[in-house]
Amino acid sequence: MALPQPPTTQHHQHAAPAPPRNGFGIAGFVLGLLGLATSFVPLIGVVAWPLVILGLVLGGVGIARARRSGGKGLAVAGVVLSAAGLVVCVLWVAVFSQALSDATPQLNDLKGQAGKESRVVYEISGTAARASATYTTYSGGDSSSNKEEITKLPWTKEVTVTGLLSGAGLAAMTGPEGGSVTCKISVDGVEKKTATATGASAVAACNF
């Protein structure tokens, strides 16, 4: 005869409820992290502005909601990261503004020189009976060169240059008879260079 079995007791295990998630805090943390990472790159840092601003807003909302949903740590971290990224963005703006402020006078000066006229005077003097002159002007990346035979000294040539004058040159060479030549270049009445050579086929070169 079978003995009666004791009644079995069934134990039901209930899974612990998942902790509530703070979506705003998580979003603020992610945006703050991305904003801070991109804020250090000068050109890409433009993208950091909306990221850090949204990170501050969402992180602040996440802190406010943390009383009910938890996740305050991520929300606070998002606010801190976003604030740091915003500081970096503001510093970049200050740097760029200062650089632009420093460059503006130079740009204005270049614009003013673009329409400026310079008076370049080439002069050759000396005892040589004959000589030759080769004179060159450099302006705005272009150059203009000319050559003249001289039968009587002193010799003078005046050239008006429009735009930025970057340099000028003058080479004076005596004839086979010899003698001396002295070259001189002046710009707007200011002497820039002078040189002297003596002998047959001697060359005096002035460049600046």
| Region of 119 on the Ramachandran plot (φ > 0 left; ψ -120 to 50 alpha; else beta) | beta
**pLDDT tens figures, 155-195:** 999 999 887 888 999 999 999 999 999 999 999 999 999 99
The confidence band for 126, taking pLDDT boundaries of 50, 70 and 90, is very high
Res 19: pLDDT:
54
Strand partners, 147: 134
Distance in angstroms (rounded) separating the CA atoms of residues 38 and 46 = 8
The confidence band for 147, taking pLDDT boundaries of 50, 70 and 90, is very high
Res 187: pLDDT:
94
Is the distance from CB of 33 to CB of 82 less than 8 angstroms? Answer: no
Res 162: pLDDT:
83
Distance in angstroms (rounded) separating the CA atoms of residues 74 and 53 = 16
Task: Name the amino acid, one letter, at 75.
Answer: A
**pLDDT tens figures, 76-121:** 888 999 899 888 888 888 887 888 777 777 666 656 556 678 899 9
State pTM to two decimals.
Answer: 0.48
Please tell me which of 13-17, 76-80, 126-130 the model is most confident about, judged by mean pLDDT: 126-130
The residue ranges of every structural domain in the chain are 23-112, 117-207
3-class secondary-structure state, position 185: strand
Domain 117-207 sits in CATH 2.60.220: no
**pLDDT tens figures, 4-13:** 555 555 544 5
3-class secondary-structure state, position 168: strand
| 194-202 LR contacts (CB < 8 Å, sep 24+) | 196/126, 197/172, 197/173, 198/174, 199/174, 200/174, 200/175, 200/176, 201/173, 201/174, 201/175, 201/176, 202/173, 202/174, 202/178
Mean pLDDT of 19-25: 71
